[in-house]
Amino acid sequence: MPTAERQNLTVSLPKRTIQQARVIAARRSTSISALIVEQVEALVGKDEAYEAARRSAFELLDNGFHMGGGKLASREELHER
């Protein structure tokens, strides 16, 4: 991943959560900060993917779907007697 400009962020968490995060970070040989970065980036990525899929779905709905087949018969043709 390319190096991006970074900015510090202060977060306040319950002590128990911090203690558990330290254990998880140690197991993964990383830092709490790196864990948080990973999780926030994953959340942002999922949200961006959702928004792209949403836009694509609305575009498909606006344009409609070609379901194949030829010209539809008129009402008169369908009800000829």
- Whether 21 contacts 35, CB under 8 Å: yes
pTM of the model: 0.62
pLDDT value of position 71:
81
CA distances from 6 to 22, 49, 71 (A): 22, 23, 58
Please give the average pLDDT of every successive group of 10 residues along the chain, which has 81 residues.
82 96 97 95 95 93 80 84 67
Query: What's the pLDDT at 77?
Result: 85
Query: Token digits for 30?
Result: 């990383």
* Both structure tokens of 42: 């994953």
Report whether 55 contacts 30 (CB < 8 A).
Answer: no
Q: Are 19 and 32 in contact (CB under 8 A)?
A: no
